[in-house]
Amino acid sequence: MNNEFKIPASPTRASETIKKSRFIATVQRASSIEEAKKFIEKIKKEFPSASHNCWAYQTGEPRSSAFVGMSDDGEPRSTAGKPMLTVLINSGIGEIAAVVTRYFGGVKLGTGGLIRAYSGILKKALADIKVKKKIITADITFTAKYNDITSIKHIIEIFKAKTVEEIYKENVLFKVLVRKDKAEEFKTAITDILNYKPFP
C-alpha cells in the first residue's frame, strides 16, 4: 500500500489551435469537490465568451473513481468531460481539477476529433505540471490525563505527527494526524506509556 501520492504543486496552462478552434487547458489542485467547483467557476468567469468550458475533476487519490465529476458543457455527449476525466485518472496525480476552454473556429471536428482535442490538450498541460508529494494520514483521537501530557507530546514529536486540536476539560482530548502506515504503531506507543485505555 502506498502512503503518499503526487498532487499538483501549482496551476498550469496549455493552449493549442486545432482546425481554427482555440483550446485552453487549465489545471490546478483541488482537494475537495467544493474546491474543484470554485476553480471551475473561476475559469468560466475568466473566459465568459468561450463556446465551451468543459471540465473534470478527481479530488481523491490517483486512479480512484471516488470523488469525481465531469461536464461536456454543451459539446456532444462524452466527447469532452469523459475523455478529460480518463486522462486525469490515468495521470498518476491526485486531488486535481481541469477545465478545457474552447473558442469555436467554425470547423466541426466530429466526435473522434473532439475526444482527441480535449484529451490531447489536457495531456499537454499535464506534461508541464509541477507536482509535490502528499502523505496519506490517519485521524486519531484519544483522551489523556493532565500529568501524561509531556510524555504524549514526546511521542507525537517522535512520530512527526501533527496535533490538530487539544481540548482541556476534566481530561485532555487530543486530535492528531499520523502517517497512515504508522497509525497502529503510534497507538501502541501511546497506550504503552499510560496505565489506562486512552482510545475510544
In tens, the pLDDT along 105-116 reads 989 999 999 999
CATH number for region 136-193 = 3.30.70.240
Return the CATH architecture of domain 4-133.
Answer: 2-Layer Sandwich (3.30)
pLDDT tens, 138-178? Answer: 899 999 999 999 999 999 999 999 999 999 999 999 999 99
* Contact by Cβ (8 Å): 41, 127: no
27, 145 Cβ separation under 8 angstroms: no
Domain(s) of CATH 3.30.70.240: residues in the chain: 136-193
Which is nearest to 81 in space by CA: 58, 59, 103? 58
Does the model's pTM come out above 0.85?
Answer: no
Segment 18-75, tens digit of pLDDT = 999 999 999 999 999 999 999 999 999 999 999 999 999 999 988 888 899 999 999 9
